[in-house]
């Protein structure tokens, strides 16, 4: 059996968690990542019958029966993932209508998956309905996006348009815009369901006064989505209190649509 710590998906997960920490997005135990793995990726490195223990999930998601996830642990620090991946990460396979998770590797100190597991799993179900290539759900606390939720209108169209106006490439990276949830109690099935609902129409969902969720086909793409939105929010926070002399106009945003062959979210730009 090959060494799982050398598996490309493991190396990339460790690098991504470290990079997110280095960006200041994941203080203390903030943030969580889940990466859906193909069965053949897992069985090259693990005995699929070797269940270490079973952890109840507290929700039902029949669509995920038999699916494997590499996921960050509850209470664990992204800062530490690179030094002890087998303590801070785990690989689980869901069964029993998604109600049970069989642990196959990791959480070596007796831990378990992130408290945001419901939001992650429900978001995977939602994104897979829209895009069968989706594999990643990522949550973190980038300071400028958070700051923006204190001073900007939380209307999704208004929030999206502001981000698009902050950097030329934003509309190209997330033409569907960002969806926004009001403040809600985290770690619950309710915020999980609300996030998943929002994930049907966008890969980015802002949790007001808390952070952001991103989804994508791989870790790089998902990181890049959040990185781009956070850069836009940073620029907004630098200029929000200053008189706005120039902006990117809707006409220019339409030019970007044509140049990059993308379509802005319906109704978000003036004709």
Contacting residues toward Zn ion, per CB under 5 A: 211
Phi/psi at 186 (5° precision): -85, 165
**83 Cβ partners below 8 Å, 6+ apart?**
none
Q: How far is the CB of 31 from ligand 2HA (least distance, A)?
A: 5
Instruction: Examine residue 165 and tell whether it contacts ligand 2HA (CB under 6 A).
Output: no
Binding mask 174-203 for ligand 2HA (x = CB under 6 A): ------------x-----------------
Cβ count within 10 A of residue 255: 12
Which H or E element spans position 17?
helix 8-22
Nearer CB in complex with ligand 2HA: 114/160: 114
Q: CA dihedral defined by 172, 221, 179, 67, rounded to 10 degrees?
A: 140
Instruction: Examine residue 32 and tell whether it contacts ligand 2HA (CB under 6 A).
Output: yes
Number of residues that bind ligand 2HA (CB under 6 A): 8
Give the footprint of ligand 2HA on residues 121-140 (CB under 6 A): 139
Instruction: Examine residue 224 and tell whether it contacts ligand 2HA (CB under 6 A).
Output: no
Q: Which residue is nearest to Zn ion (CB)?
A: 211
Instruction: Examine residue 116 and tell whether it contacts ligand 2HA (CB under 6 A).
Output: yes
Instruction: Examine residue 111 and tell whether it contacts ligand 2HA (CB under 6 A).
Output: no
Nearer CB in complex with Zn ion: 1/185: 185
Question: Which range, of 13-21, 28-36, 247-255, 258-266, touches ligand 2HA by CB under 6 A?
Answer: 28-36
Task: Catalytic residue, from 6, 38, 63, 116: name it.
Answer: 116
Print burial letters for 48-63: b (CB count within 10 Å at least 16), e (below 16): eeeeeeebebebebeb
- Strand-pair partners of 204: 214
Nearer CB in complex with ligand 2HA: 27/218: 27
d(CA 27, CA 22): 10
Q: How far is the CB of 30 from ligand 2HA (least distance, A)?
A: 4
Q: In what order do the strands lie in the sheet with 136-140?
A: 53-56, 100-106, 89-95, 68-72, 32-37, 136-140, 211-216, 204-207, 179-181
The single residue among 12, 23, 30, 130 that binds ligand 2HA, judged by CB under 6 A, is 30
Nearer CB in complex with ligand 2HA: 65/193: 193
Question: Is residue 116 among the annotated active site residues?
Answer: yes
> How far is residue 70 from each of residues 47, 49, 85, 160, 216, measured CA to CA in Å?
15, 17, 11, 31, 15
Q: Applying CB under 6 A, which residues contact ligand 2HA?
A: 29-32, 115-116, 139, 186
Residues with catalytic annotation?
A: 116
């Amino acid at each position: 059996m090959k060494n799982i710590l050398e598996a490309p998906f493991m190396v990339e997960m460790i690098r991504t968690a470290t990079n997110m920490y280095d960006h200041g997005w994941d203080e203390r135990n903030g943030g969580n990542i889940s990466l859906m793995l193909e069965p053949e990726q897992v069985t090259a490195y693990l005995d699929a019958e070797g269940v270490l223990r079973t952890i109840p999930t507290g929700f039902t998601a029949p669509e995920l029966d038999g699916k494997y996830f590499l996921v960050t642990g509850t209470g664990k620090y992204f800062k530490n993932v690179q030094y002890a991946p087998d303590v801070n990460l785990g690989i689980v396979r869901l069964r029993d209508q998604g109600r049970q998770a069989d642990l196959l590797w990791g959480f070596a100190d007796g831990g378990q998956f992130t408290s945001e597991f419901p939001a992650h799993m429900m978001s995977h179900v939602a994104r897979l309905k829209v895009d069968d290539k989706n594999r990643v759900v990522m949550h973190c606390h980038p300071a400028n996006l958070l700051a923006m939720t204190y001073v900007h209108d939380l209307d999704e169209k208004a929030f999206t348009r502001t981000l698009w106006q902050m950097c030329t490439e934003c509309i190209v990276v997330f033409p569907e815009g960002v969806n926004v949830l009001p403040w809600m109690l985290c770690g619950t099935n309710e915020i999980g369901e609300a996030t998943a609902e929002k994930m049907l129409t966008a890969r980015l969902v802002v949790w007001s006064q808390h952070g952001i969720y991103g989804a994508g086909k791989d870790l790089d793409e998902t990181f890049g989505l959040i990185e781009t939105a956070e850069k836009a929010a940073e620029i907004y926070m630098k200029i929000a209190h200053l008189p706005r002399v120039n902006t990117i106009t809707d006409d220019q945003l339409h030019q970007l649509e044509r140049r990059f062959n993308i379509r802005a979210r319906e109704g978000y730009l003036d004709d």
